[in-house]
Structure 1
């Protein structure tokens, strides 16, 4: 950090490349570096994530990455020694789903797919492949009636502009056979 207000975007890009090895040493990906100038000193916000898998980054790992990033920033040859705040976090539920690995991480959750030139689709994410995803959409029902699901919908990543996880406070616990369960329940109702 140079310590003085600079082009935050250019400095964030420089820091992204500079900090990538420090984050990679923890087997994580550096998703984003953002610099916010407010108050007396800037805040460097670093977002990390697993390259694969569905597990989230635990707090112990965040603490270890934070220490590594802090050490790297202290050793930065472009660092002026000016104070800054450092925030390290992981991919959160409010972040858009833009990469196939983001979709894989949310397998089994209710998501909304924002499609190019088509109506959005909201449903349970049941499958993520190389070329796209499968959602089992919600079918609108009258208030007080048991929710129903529609037929699975295949969407290619080319169709999807981005996705969003829908927060569920009473999320059903779906195991690995979610597609079979949903299809079986629809066949029983027919």
Structure 2
């Protein structure tokens, strides 16, 4: 399957799933299709405010399966369905990602290739806005348009409000 047709299929699957999953208060974060022998593996990553539970993943799996069975989007080829949570290794690219990570430590690579590590303090819901990071005790506003890549940093001893 060509890259263009792969992208079109991924977009079509995402469009088919968006509303049914939104009804479960879930967002489709990623759709990936990879060949696996004679089958394909369809991975659908979901997220929501407050995080995704195992029950959410189970409910999303049932809904994705129902939607795909009712449509012809996957064609006649067999596939294996995997529904997962978004995971911390996915880049923050939308305002909702920043909202869901307020108070988390992030590493931001800017368009000029400089790097900023700071804690998310606030964000604009508008994609043309900015995120406010606390960097070494100082607040710094970073426009989304200047962000090349941003990832949540794993903290084993994350500070609490009292510390």
- Normalising by the smaller structure, the TM-score range is 0.7 to 0.9
**Contact 1:9-1:35 at 8 Å conserved across structures:** no
Q: Tell me how far apart the structure 1 counterparts of residues 113 and 140 of structure 2 sit (CA, whole Å).
A: 13
Is 88-97 or 120-129 further displaced after alignment? Answer: 120-129
Structure 1, unmatched stretches of 5+, are 138-148, 176-180, 182-190
The counterpart of 2:29, out of the listed 5, 28, 31, is 31
Q: Runs of 5+ in structure 2 lacking a partner?
A: none
Highest CA radius of gyration, 1 or 2? 1
SS class of match (1:60) = helix
User: Which has more strand, going by share of residues?
Assistant: 2
- Shift of the 39–132 alpha-carbon distance from structure 1 to 2, 3 Å rule, reads same
- Cα displacement (A) at 1:101: 1.2
CA–CA distance in structure 2, aligned partners of residues 128 and 80 of structure 1:
41
Corresponding residue SS for 2:158: coil
Q: CA RMSD in A?
A: 2.1
Question: How far did residue 91 of structure 1 move?
Answer: 1.6
Counterpart position of 2:11: 13
Cα offset, 1:133, TM superposition: 1.8
Secondary structure at 1:101 match in 2: helix
Match of 1:73 among 68, 90, 106: 68
Count residues in correspondence.
Answer: 158
* CA-to-aligned-CA distance 1:5-59 (integer Å, 9 cap, x gap): 5743222122122222321221222222111102231011111222xx3x10111
Cα shift at 1:107: 0.8
